[in-house]
Amino acid sequence: MKIIGKLLNKSKIISTALLLNRVNAIISQRRTLKKMLLKAKNTQFGKHYHFSEILEEKDVYKSFSQRVPLSNYSTMFPWWQRAYNNEENVTWPGKIEYFALSSGTSEGASKYIPVSEDMLKSIKKGSVRQILNIAFTDLPKDFLAKHYLMIGGSTDLNYNGYVYSGDLSGITTQNVPIWFERFSKPSMEIRSTKDWHEKIERITAEAKNWDVVMIAGVPAWIQLLIENIVKTYNLNNIHDIWPNFSVYVHGGVDITPYKKGLNALLGQPIMYFETYLASEGFIAFQQKISAKGMKLIFRNEMFYEFIPFDRNNFNDSGELVDNPQVLSLSEVTENKEYAIIITTCAGAWRYMIGDVVKFVDVENCEIKITGRTKHFLSMCGEHLSVDNMTRAIEIVSNKLDVNFVEFTVKGVPYGNLFAHQWYIGTNGCDVDEAQVTALLDNTLKELNDDYATERMHALKNIMVKLVPNQLFLQWMDKQGKTGSQNKFPRVLSDEKYQVWVEFVQESLNVKI
């Protein structure tokens, strides 16, 4: 309790970086950029792009944006590969000992993202800020002294003789603050379990011994775990075993489709807090229950830039055009979508991570993730975002009083024109596909003007196939993407779509 007392006493200092309004955040960002350039000026990357000269310029950001090109994984890979092979001082000072494996979604080859010592400190600092921020919400004073259930990837890391690689949650778990280990569940032994089904059973077996007040993890798998605990102990709801469970911290996917199912497993209301922890760094988290979005984290060695996500900067495949418009924090506006660009203390420079965000409160620097640059549909100009899709599913679910959870969609040829093929997961509810199709189509027209226009022209049809919700989880299992931080892709690539269709046809031909 002495450790917790010290943390509480320091909380005002720790949370200062979260209180920055836009003006102060802009000033802080320029200082952060200079600090990172100064640290990295003698790295191979820093010498190649003349960081020392950039620092001598009157307008450091202008020089930085002109001299250092925008990057993505393919352009940073040759640099990071050298660090992976034990070279030091490549894109960040010193030796990189950890690499986080990330694919963004359940499809695509794994990417190896560097995680420096400075980045581990940055993530720890952001995590402490978030926990303290939650603790000062309307919660009991002993909140910090109870148990936190963190469901992430395996802590069993791969070692190539030079560096360790694995799930970011596994890397950070091995580097958590000492005071936090006492309260964090499950044990390191259980966390190291690679098989997700075995991990669920082991957590369930230990659940009766814990006083869990907070859970963190991806919604689909958290729901599966809670359902297993309720079933195993023959409970009415999860609060029968964890009466103090008050907070769920979620991220990686919109919580909206999952809330109805999660709430059905509760005995009392809980608070939902969203977080934005990517493999590249801790970017933002929700400060208040009433907040419109997540507040960007400042003074944490992260520098942000933004590219308007529109046809002037991206083609219909989500690829960046030549010479796109890049904006600083001082230039963004509310309710416009931007591809987020980050420069980090792990050696990612002007790096496009693929996420699309919207500023929902620009003065408080609060954002909402609306999708991915590659995960939207624009076969003929309909420009349908994941945010549009999720919102439409929510509206249709409410109108029909059913619980649609997982879904995916693919643009397909339709004669000489185009159509959208939807697959929506249901939990055994009796609902008419034709009714769902009509409601979904009309809702999307209301949410997206481009979609409404193209439905009168090139986008000739929308088809909906309702399937058991467990098919989505079973397919993830078959792809080796069960549990941890994996999410089902809302928009499927051509290759994955074919695999998915074959899997659905095969599954529905047998009794499930």
pLDDT tens track for 88-107: 999 999 999 999 987 654 44
Residue 120 lies in a domain: yes
Residue 123 lies in a domain: yes
Cα–Cα distances (Å) from 299 to 28, 343, 369, in that order, read 7, 13, 21
Write the CATH number for 333. Answer: 3.40.50.12780
Share of the chain above pLDDT 70, in %: 90
For the CA atoms of 486, 490, 496, 499, the dihedral, rounded to the nearest 10 degrees, stands at 90
Task: Indicate whether 370 and 425 sit together in one domain.
Answer: no
**344 pairs with which residues across the strands?**
302
Write the CATH number for 450. Answer: 3.30.300
Q: What is the pTM of this model?
A: 0.82
Residue that the structure tokens 């836009």 belong to: 22
pLDDT tens track for 262-316: 999 999 999 999 999 999 999 999 998 889 899 999 999 999 999 999 889 988 7
Residue 387 pLDDT more than 90? no
Q: What average pLDDT does the segment 453-459 reach?
A: 90
Query: In the sheet where 164-166 sits, what is the strand order?
Result: 111-115, 98-102, 164-166, 158-159
Residue 380 lies in a domain: no
Which helix (H) or strand (E) element contains residue 358?
strand 351-361
Task: Indicate whether 53 and 125 sit together in one domain.
Answer: yes
Residue that the structure tokens 């986080």 belong to: 100
Distance CA 439, CA 445 (A): 10
Task: Indicate whether 132 and 280 sit together in one domain.
Answer: yes
Going through 393-436 in order, the beta strands assigned E by DSSP cover 407-414, 417-426
Write down the pLDDT at residue 13: 43
Distance CA 179, CA 177 (A): 6
Contact 230, 237 (CB under 8 A): yes
Q: For residue 140, is the peptide bond before it cis, meaning its omega torsion is within 30 degrees of 0?
A: no
- In whole angstroms, what separates CA 405 from the centre of its chain? 17
**Residue finishing a domain among 374, 396, 411:** 374
10 Å Cβ neighbour count for 59? 11
Q: What average pLDDT does the segment 148-173 reach?
A: 83
pLDDT category of residue 244 using cuts at 50, 70 and 90: very high
> 386, 393, 414, 415: which is closest to 318 by C-alpha?
386
Task: Indicate whether 370 and 402 sit together in one domain.
Answer: no
Task: Indicate whether 170 and 240 sit together in one domain.
Answer: yes
55-59, 136-140, 335-339, 465-469: least confident range: 136-140
Cα–Cα distances (Å) from 372 to 249, 274, 345, 368, 456, in that order, read 21, 17, 23, 12, 26
Task: Indicate whether 314 and 390 sit together in one domain.
Answer: no
Residue 379 lies in a domain: no
Task: Indicate whether 362 and 440 sit together in one domain.
Answer: no
Domain region containing 407: 386-508
**Residue finishing a domain among 349, 374, 399:** 374
Contact 407, 425 (CB under 8 A): yes
Number of independent structural domains in the chain = 2
Task: Indicate whether 483 and 437 sit together in one domain.
Answer: yes
Residue 465 pLDDT more than 70? yes
DSSP per-residue codes, 170-208: HHHHTT--HHHHTTEES-HHHHT---HHHHHHHHHHHGG
Residue 31 pLDDT more than 80? yes
Task: Indicate whether 356 and 426 sit together in one domain.
Answer: no
- In whole angstroms, what separates CA 267 from the centre of its chain? 28
Q: Phi/psi at 263 (nearest 5 deg)?
A: -60, -30
Write down the pLDDT at residue 512: 39
Task: Indicate whether 337 and 412 sit together in one domain.
Answer: no
Task: Indicate whether 323 and 454 sit together in one domain.
Answer: no
Residue 11 pLDDT more than 60? no
Residue that the structure tokens 């000992």 belong to: 97
> What are the residues whose beta carbons fall under 8 Å from the beta carbon of 57, sequence distance 6 or more?
63
pLDDT category of residue 182 using cuts at 50, 70 and 90: low
Residue 1 pLDDT more than 50? no
Task: Indicate whether 264 and 356 sit together in one domain.
Answer: yes
Q: 3-class DSSP state for residue 102?
A: strand
**Residue finishing a domain among 374, 402, 428:** 374
Residue 61 lies in a domain: yes
Residue 381 lies in a domain: no
Half-sphere exposure of 95 (CA within 13 A, CB side): 7
Half-sphere exposure of 239 (CA within 13 A, CB side): 14
Q: Phi/psi at 27 (nearest 5 deg)?
A: -65, -45
